[in-house]
Structure 1
Amino acid sequence: MSDVDYDRLQGEAQFGDYVALLKPRVMSLVVFTAAVGLLVAPVPVHPMVAFAAILFIAIGAGGSGALNMWWDADIDELMKRTRGRPVPSGRLTAGDALSLGLALSGFAVVMLALAANLFAAALLGFTIFFYAVVYTMWLKRLTPQNIVIGGAAGAFPPMIGWAVATGGVSIESAMMFMLIFMWTPPHFWALALFMRSDYDDAGVPMLTVTHGRRITRRHILVYTLLLVPVSLALAVSSIGGPVTLVAALVLNAQFLLGALRIARRDEAQAEDDRYAVEKAVFRTSLYYLFLHFGALLCDAALRTAGWV
């Protein structure tokens, strides 16, 4: 983005700027995985309760996104990928983001307690706290393990959905958690590899900054190898089935192949082809998770129909 383009971003706040504060792309993954967790649970949920629960989970996710943008406004301004966000671009103030984030987060937790149950609401509240405080305010600027530990925040939504239906947790919901938890590091490290100097400029101790790209490439492979058995275990669990098993085999083969290609590269190769392999693995990681959870949903539908 040129300086001229950046200057054009300054100006009056629009409705879309408030939407952007909620991180809608991240919210879409939260909503989808939470909905799957709810729908594959063994306890049926009234459609209106299910709709309300997913709505309040989405609002909570949006609130935590706004809190993240409030706290990270200083480093967002230094990164090309994030400098156009509403706060660093000057279209909204940090106070706007803080107020919206607190209001939406509190509203979501209270309403989920009323619509579903206290346990699900408490788990949502803990997830917001973990993302906004433990990850954003503490881990992100402290340790290269920020995305490893902080990735737990993005792994809780299917557990929240499951808790809406059952009022608790189980081995199945923990396995869905672990799938996202193990997927998060290779997903973000692939992004960090081709974003080059963004994290250096912002002073964020991402693994690429503290240990270098070669070590990061090896870590991507290690975490992908650890992800494979988690995925296969989920496929043969009580909420898995033939669709999930086929999806796991195909998606893991593709993801693992990409991780191997990344691990074998050096920076000269990466520079020569403008990080094409890293970008391809990042794209693969995006639909890896959506298709895994979509497969779980398909197997749940097959069980309901009595076909498996």
Structure 2
Amino acid sequence: MSKLTPLQKRGWNASQLVLGCMGLGGGWSGNPVTPELVKQAHEAVEAAQSIGITMFDHADIYARGNAELVFGQVLKERPELRDQIVIQSKCGIRFEEGPGRPGRFDFSKEHITSSVEGILSRLNIESLDILLLHRPDPLMEPDEVAEAFRQLKQSGKVKAFGVSNMSAAQIRFLQASIEEPLIANQLEMSLLKLDWLDNGIHQNQKQGTQVSFPDGTMEFCQMENIQLQAWSPLAKGLFSGKDLEGQSDAVKQTAALVQAMAEEKETTREAIVLAWLMRHPARIQPVIGTSQAARIRACQDAAKLELTREEWYSLYVSSRGSRMP
């Protein structure tokens, strides 16, 4: 089995671990960027680089734009960094803007192109490596998206495109109109969020009616060399130290199993949780959402570990809270 991720097969110098930058910029209050927030961003980037991370994930809405602003300041103060990393951002989600303008999704050409202008300005860069469409827009016109992508590609403002939270059918529908290959799909996947696995396990099973993950998406992305990225891969720390009061027996038992495996392998709980995701043949890219330097460094061993089938299934069955069908 190839050890290369789909992005690496396409020639991208993208590490299998990705630092998600949603936690940068001071949260969702929209307050001005401070030197302390820029310092935090520097520390997060340095911690990520220290464990081999070369890819960084943004979205135009993160911290209402401030996540990209502080990262852009890092790039301004460390200009050599730009050529060492892959920068990905997302657009398509719009916040509520007053009466008659609800929170919504927007894949119109105007919004996509204007969003990219804002992303480039905040990040202090001339070209974005990868642009993902954030959650699916029911009013999406594929030809209009194609025109936006064509314009962005020809102008050199975006090098490659992908999606987030989309099914195989939605990707096929969009790809039929787009000349450029869609190269990534970011989905919620973790030891806590198991629909992506249960969908396949419960074929021809009554339990399958309770699974919401779109059928065939994992297989389609693997066949088309589309990089599967996992958001919230650490499940907000549930298996790596978070207080488990009020959590299910399955979560508590799985957290104990993760702890035992970490002790046996002399590594961290974060590394075990991520290695479990990365053991999948799709060569999933976990997008680590923490901005804390110590927790970023705790993920260092994830790419080095390779769980056995028995270890992988032990974690899966434990988190399911039930035996395999």
TM-score relative to the length of structure 2: 0.27
Report which of the two has the higher share of helix: 1
Report which of the two has the higher share of strand: 2
